[in-house]
Structure 1
């Protein structure tokens, strides 16, 4: 199989490319800088300009599948008006560019896996939600709605489109937990806000396996929650990290302090999303790490 990937240098993209290459598949990395003829890992690269709507001619030739992961980091900077615009534009414009390139290819790929997030659902409190739940009303929810809608050109061309609505990826190497683990190692970890909010999570191992699963599963299309079957509260996550890292978790950051430090982004930390992976479970996806303790243990082992 020949797979094109955007965001291939990020946490998920790096792991996905490594997994595909290890199994003998071909990988084309869509990069925003000049493309390289032969990256050292055996993959290929091609240039794309998400804001300008351009993909290097011929980049999609012979591609069986496209995995679109690129987008500005939600937690990388404080949410100023300019950065909120960048968060939205990087996702909507990038997705539209990839979808149009797929639709316009001489031989279009059979599937486009275009990332989304559990932020689609907004704050759901203690209510369990699956892929049938409506969108929330906050900023991240509106971004996710526009993000998914931007893949319309690929859908119109008859390409199967899957939107992985991803929760927090459990890895010590990057993402949210890549930032939390060092704090807990120093004894500075603790619950955030009330601690009662549900955090949808998925181990990096399960996330990559789920991406490989949806690439091959013809019956899956549309939104697919990439979350473990047993979402946990922030309080439970805090306790599990304290036990696993053998450090006390005495610190507690109240919601008002988070808002003062992080601005509007704090809502993404203190809101509750009790999201379950109904579509993956129905399709028979075998989770290796259904609980947070298992996901954390895997992440810590991989980091050693």
Structure 2
């Protein structure tokens, strides 16, 4: 399977990429870095840009995993940093949604994660950041 991943150089992303390669899948990395790597799609979420030539080159994507966003543990949470964290998630997610909708063959599965918080199974109960863990 071809599995696109944002945040592939982060803590979870690195482990996911290694696991996918080990099981024989093809990771497609969305990266802000300029590179000529074959399985990389260049994107700039803060500018709202995805490189269309890269998208065309990698072809159809079976699964999309969105893990990108500013780190939450590496800097002090100033007002500016909180804004950066929020915008890194909202801008990136909005860009990916727009990109996926525009694909000729959208992926069968899209997963998006933006935090390390967790919530237990609560059925139909709506969960928020204020909900207790477990």
**Which bin holds the TM-score, normalised by the shorter protein?**
0.7 to 0.9
Work out whether residues 118 and 133 of structure 2, in 8 Å CA contact, stay in contact via their aligned partners in 1: no
> How many angstroms apart in 1 are the aligned matches of 2:133 and 2:20?
31
Per the alignment, residue 94 of structure 1 pairs with: 92
Cα deviation code 1:64-121 (max 9, x no counterpart): 1110001111121111111000010000001111111111111111111111336487
Work out whether residues 120 and 136 of structure 1, in 8 Å CA contact, stay in contact via their aligned partners in 2: no
Q: Does 1:134 align with 2:127?
A: yes
Structure 2: unaligned runs, 5 residues or longer: none
What SS does structure 1 have at the residue aligned with 2:5?
strand
Bigger shift: residues 53-62 or 23-32: 53-62
Per the alignment, residue 274 of structure 1 pairs with: 133
Cα RMSD for the two superposed structures: 2.3
- Check 1:78–1:105 CA distance in 2 against 1; reply closer, same or farther (3 A cut): same
Per the alignment, residue 23 of structure 1 pairs with: 23
Q: 2:46 aligns with which of 23, 45, 51?
A: 51
> How many angstroms apart in 1 are the aligned matches of 2:118 and 2:93?
16
- Check 1:115–1:65 CA distance in 2 against 1; reply closer, same or farther (3 A cut): same
Larger radius of gyration: 1
Q: 1:110 aligns with which of 108, 125, 130?
A: 108
> How many angstroms apart in 2 are the aligned matches of 1:108 and 1:11?
27
- Check 1:76–1:118 CA distance in 2 against 1; reply closer, same or farther (3 A cut): closer
- Normalised by the length of structure 1, the TM-score is 0.39
What SS does structure 2 have at the residue aligned with 1:116?
coil
Work out whether residues 129 and 274 of structure 1, in 8 Å CA contact, stay in contact via their aligned partners in 2: no
Per the alignment, residue 34 of structure 2 pairs with: 34
Cα deviation code 1:215-239 (max 9, x no counterpart): xxxxxxxxxxxxxxxxxxxxxxxxx
